[in-house]
Each structure stands twice: as structure tokens, then as C-alpha cells.
Chain A
Amino acid sequence: MKWFRGRSPVDVVGIGLVLAVAVFSLVLLVAPSIIVVIISFDTRAYVTFPPAGFTLRWYKAVFEHGELVEAMLNSLQVGLTVTVLCIVLGVPTALACVRGRFRGTTALSVFVLVPHMVPGIVLGVAVLFAGALVGVSPSIWLQSISITVFILAVMVRTVQSRLMRLDPALEEAAANLRATPFQSLRTVTFPLLMPAILAGAVFTFVEGFDNLSVAIFTHGFRDRPLPVELLALVQYTSSPIVAAVSGVQIVLAIAALVIVSMSIGLDKVNE
């Protein structure tokens, strides 16, 4: 091969090793998803590999399965609530941490991070017990709030890092050019933070939709979110319907990525 020429044997071995590890890791990451998708089209009513035939009946079954549809809608609601709460609480927090001129900006920044460092299960149990003490029982709202506390740090950190790289002179220029503090936020700071806010929104929505560790202790008795419903499902059945639900989620994830990349560009989210 051409690229062998002019390279030392050590380089060739090194590059080969790196490539091998990279390919192996990718396969490890992607293969399960592909297998799940393949299984979801299987004609047999139990999980096997390779599949015996092709059918869409499991996808049909998912949408005819009342509890699953309801769980999906619940998770959707939690995801959206968490996203909205994270934007409403996280963006001002990030602004305060970076631009604030008061004592304790660092403390605030660390304080927001702490719930994210605690294992989700611990946080979930803590909320459940604390709720019981003050008479708040698990519900879709308690679940949304708990996951918001858990994931808020991601929104704050994403917006914070973008804000720290914004030239502070931009906001000074806005003020000098007659903008009131509110006008400056609306016309300069927010538009420039938008990629970070959208990136944070994607992360927090996915967490709200997908979180199991916190949700399992805090969800409402009648409002089971999708991860909890799926857990229950795999405990009692082994039909490819679970794989089909995963298939739906994978499609949604890809759709989200496509929407983000078309609206603001993935490179900007990455910033």
C-alpha cells in the first residue's frame, strides 16, 4: 500500500494499532444498536439472533400497546419539562456565574454541579425519602424536578463555557451603542449563546426522556416513564417489542441530530 512508503516500521505499527482500537471501539458501541434494530424486525416472538424473517408487527404492537404509548408520552412530557426548566434556570445561572460581580460566583457554579456528581440512584432515593417526610409523593412533576436538579449542571456548563469565550467587549459595545441591559441580552448575548442553549437543550431533553436511575424512585404511580415501563417489560417478557421501542428511540435520536445539524450545525454544538 502507498502510505507504507517513507514511514518507519514503528509508525506503521502505531498507526495500525490506533486504527484497530478505534474500529474495535466503534464496533463495540454501534453493534448492539444495530443488533437491536435487526431483532426488532424478527418474525419470531422471542429474542434470538440471527432473525428468521422480516416483519413490522412489533412496531405496530408498540403503538397498539396502550401502556407503552402512554409511557412514551409521559417521557416526552418529562423531557420537555426538564428542558424548559433547565433553560429557564440554567441560562441565568450561567450568566450569573460568568458575568456576575458578586462574591460566591464560584460557589454557585460548584453548587449547581454537585447533584450531577451524586449517583442518580442516591439522588432518587434521597428525593423519595425527603418527599415522604414533607408529604410530597412521587409524581410526574416530582420526577421532572428531580431530573432537572440532576442534569441542570450540563446546561449551565455548556452555556458557561460558551459565555466565557465570548468577548466581554461585545456586551460593552452594545451598552455603548445605547442598548439597555435588557436590549443587550436580547440582541447580542442570547443570539450568540443560542448554539450552546440548543446543545444544552438536546442533552437535557435526552436525559429527561431517558433517565432511569432518578426516575425509578420519583415517578408517579400512574405516570410510568418509558425507561421504567421498558424495565418492567423485559422482566416479564422477552418479545422483540422491547427491541422495537429501542428502534423508535434510535430513529428519534437520529432525527434530533439531523434537526440540530440542519438548524445550527453540529460543529457549533460541539464548540
Chain B
Amino acid sequence: MMHGPAGPSNTVETTAPVLGIGAVGKRFGATRVLQDFTLDVAEGEIVTLLGPSGCGKTTLLRCVAGFWEADGGTIEIDGQDIVDVPVNRRPVGVVFQSYALFPHLTVARNVGYALRMRNKPRAEVAQRVASVLETVSLTGFENRYPSQLSGGQQQRVAIARVLVMEPRVLLLDEPFNALDAKLRGAMQVELRQLIKRLGLTSIFVTHDQEEALTMSDRIAVMSGGKIEQVASPDEIFDRPATAYVADFIGVSNFLETEVETGHVRLPDGQTVMTDLTGGVKVMTRPHNLRLGPPEAGPWKGTVSFHRNVGPLIEYHVEASDGNVIRVSAMRQERDCPVKDRSQVSLSVIDPASCSVYPG
């Protein structure tokens, strides 16, 4: 196959994926950690593998990096199968959860490591290290040791150390876990902008939905070694394909009900169209629900808890059937001053935004 030069590129004209994973499986003893996993990642795209621990996301990343051997399937980079390529010759760069910086080497020697291993001339190493350190804004830190850096700086060294070898695919294994909450948000934005600027094809592994929504072009939600849904962050959030995805991303309310000829009736009387039949679960997000005075509708409940979440107020409403429904509203948009234990009625703002899943 023909390819343009590796590295930054603003044109996305090639349709062939940079990374192609086909039917990869992996088992440890009797446990199937990956089943028939298939995913293509396009040039310059950031795809997030999102799922709880044990869903196989890290296993897949380790198979792509070559730390573990897949039991079957193909892993292709630029159309070339790399399954038999040893770890140290795969054109991938890994940013580890622990960063795995070499504690006995300075920042400059950490960053230059990959070049020295390939016996690049001294002058070239120095020049490329300087340029990469500038990219991650660490100029001036050359002679520090990792233990003398903050968590955020260590993360940038870990990224610089990988960038210096100009990998075709960047693999990020929960790189924000070691950072405190406040720094995490800032580093997510910074890292996404950096990766986009360099046009690096990336796989990002996390169990944190907010990270996934921030970082990704596409999110693959995983469960039990399989992909539940791959789609853009908006689509994953607004149109979750399965009840599992809906439950995993964001806050969801599930209402169990029966289909009546082509539609389901919501407790407030409105209807949602569906092709399904029999028992189903209707999912609606808290921001798609509205509270009203108790006489305003047929769906009644009691507020059992409410809290201020910054610009939003989150209510827990115990409906008459015992279900606890979560509702959120902008703080300044409160129609009625609601206190705990007060009687309210619930209504769905936009029935078309509800999702219906097989019960």
C-alpha cells in the first residue's frame, strides 16, 4: 500500500485505516478477555476504549503494543500485519498509567532513550530531544530527574519520550489516573489539542466517561471483551445503542413498560415510537425531565433528595411505583421552589430523545 510521509498532516483523504484490528481474541486460562474484537482507526483519529476494569480494554492495548500476544486475529498498521513484529520494532508509542519514566535518567536522557537505542548520532539526538521538549513546553527541564518533577510534568515527559520516535500509533493507558482531579481536566484538554495538532492516530484507554467525552473523536464502549457501541461522543451520549451503554455513560432513568402497537406510553401520557415488541425499557436522561406542581400531570412523585451540582440542581424523585427518578435542572430555571418531601409531577420534555431497549 502507498502512504504519505509519517507525521503531521492536515489532509484526511486516505480512507484506509492506519490501525486495523480484526477479530482479535485473547483468553487467560478459561477467561475470555477479548472476543472477536474488531476496530479500525483512521489517520489522526483518537478512539477511546471505555469500560469498567476487566472489560478487556487494557488487554487490547497491550496486544497492539506487543506486550501480550493475541490468541488470534490480525493487527495491522498501514496495512501490514504486526502480530509477528517484536515489541521493539512496532511503530507504536505507549504512554503508561504509571508513566514508567526511568528514575535513574534525566529528562533529556529519558526523552532521548528511543533514539539512543537506535544508535542515532549524538547531534541528532540532542536536536530532536530539544525540539520535542519544546513541543510539550518542558524546555529548561533537561537535567531534572523524574522525581524532581510534578505529576503533570512527568506526564509530559512520558509523552515527549514517545513523540520523539514519531510513532504511527499512540497508545495511552489511563494516563490521567496519577493526577489530581483539578489538573486532570486541564491536562485532558492540553493533551487532546497536542495530539490533534500533531495529527497522531491514537487509542486512549480509560474507565472515566468524562475523560472519554473530552478526549475522543470516537468512543468504543466495551463490556466483557466486546464492543457494545462505537460512535462519536455526542451520539454515544444522546443515542446509546444498548441499555448497558446508556447506563455506563451519564446518568440514566430506566422505565420498564410494554409496547402498544408501534409505540410505548410514558407515565406522563406522552408516547415514544418503537419497532420493538413486548416488554421494553425506556431510557431518559435527567435533563430531559421537568418537574411541575403536583396537579400538572398524571406522573406523580415525592422529592426524596436534592443537591446543588454547580450550575445544575439534581433531584431524586420517588415515583408512586417506587422507582427513583433522577431529574436535573438549571438552577436559575427552577419553575417551582422544590424542597425535600414535597409532592411534584414529572414530565418528559422531548419524547423523541428517549431511547427504547428490549426489556
Decide: A172 and B94 in contact? CB cutoff 8 A. Answer: yes
Q: Mark B55-73, 1 if CB is under 8 A from A, else 0.
A: 0000000000111000000
Decide: A191 and B100 in contact? CB cutoff 8 A. Answer: no
B139 is an interface residue with CB less than 8 A from chain A: no
Decide: A173 and B103 in contact? CB cutoff 8 A. Answer: no
A179 to B161, alpha carbons, bound, how many Å? 13
A170 is an interface residue with CB less than 8 A from chain B: yes
Decide: B88 and A173 in contact? CB cutoff 8 A. Answer: no
Residue among B87, B98, B162 making CB contact with A169, cutoff 8 Å: B98
B117 is an interface residue with CB less than 8 A from chain A: yes
Residue among B98, B104, B161 making CB contact with A191, cutoff 8 Å: B104
A183 and B94 in contact, given A167-B100, A170-B102, A172-B67 (Cβ under 8 angstroms): no
* Interfacial chain B residues near A175, Cβ < 8 Å: 66-67, 87-88
A204 to B165, alpha carbons, bound, how many Å? 43
Known interface pairs A169-B96, A179-B88; 7 further A-B residue pairs with C-beta atoms within 8 A, sorted by A's residue number:
A174-B102, A174-B117, A176-B88, A179-B113, A180-B117, A187-B117, A192-B103
* Interfacial chain A residues near B118, Cβ < 8 Å: 178
Closest residue on chain B to residue A175 by CB atoms = B87
Decide: B92 and A176 in contact? CB cutoff 8 A. Answer: yes
Decide: B104 and A173 in contact? CB cutoff 8 A. Answer: no
Decide: B165 and A177 in contact? CB cutoff 8 A. Answer: yes
B20 is an interface residue with CB less than 8 A from chain A: no
Which applies to chain A's interface (DSSP): helix, strand, loop or mixed? helix
Decide: B65 and A176 in contact? CB cutoff 8 A. Answer: yes
| Nearest-Cβ distance from residue A177 to partner chain B, whole angstroms | 4
Count: A-B pairs, CB below 8 Å? 60
A174 and B113 in contact, given A180-B88, A188-B102, A191-B104 (Cβ under 8 angstroms): yes
Closest residue on chain A to residue B171 by CB atoms = A176
| Nearest-Cβ distance from residue A87 to partner chain B, whole angstroms | 19
Decide: A177 and B96 in contact? CB cutoff 8 A. Answer: no
Residue among B66, B90, B92, B100 making CB contact with A173, cutoff 8 Å: B100
Decide: B103 and A176 in contact? CB cutoff 8 A. Answer: no
Q: Mind listing 5 A-B residue pairs with CB under 8 Å?
A: A172-B96, A174-B102, A177-B114, A179-B88, A192-B104
| Nearest-Cβ distance from residue A6 to partner chain B, whole angstroms | 37
A179 to B89, alpha carbons, bound, how many Å? 9
* Interfacial chain B residues near A172, Cβ < 8 Å: 65, 67, 87, 94, 96, 100
Write the residues of chain A forming the contact surface with B, with a CB cutoff of 8 angstroms.
Answer: 167, 169-170, 172-180, 183, 187-188, 191-192
Closest residue on chain A to residue B87 by CB atoms = A175
B44 is an interface residue with CB less than 8 A from chain A: no
A183 to B116, alpha carbons, bound, how many Å? 10
Decide: A176 and B117 in contact? CB cutoff 8 A. Answer: no
| Nearest-Cβ distance from residue B50 to partner chain A, whole angstroms | 22
B93 is an interface residue with CB less than 8 A from chain A: yes
Scoring B65, B92, B94 by chain A CB atoms within 10 A of each residue's CB, the highest score goes to B94
A176 to B86, alpha carbons, bound, how many Å? 10
Decide: A173 and B117 in contact? CB cutoff 8 A. Answer: no
Scoring A173, A175, A180, A187 by chain B CB atoms within 10 A of each residue's CB, the highest score goes to A173
Decide: A170 and B100 in contact? CB cutoff 8 A. Answer: yes
Decide: A178 and B102 in contact? CB cutoff 8 A. Answer: no
A176 and B93 in contact, given A169-B100, A188-B102 (Cβ under 8 angstroms): yes
A169 to B67, alpha carbons, bound, how many Å? 10
A187 to B88, alpha carbons, bound, how many Å? 15
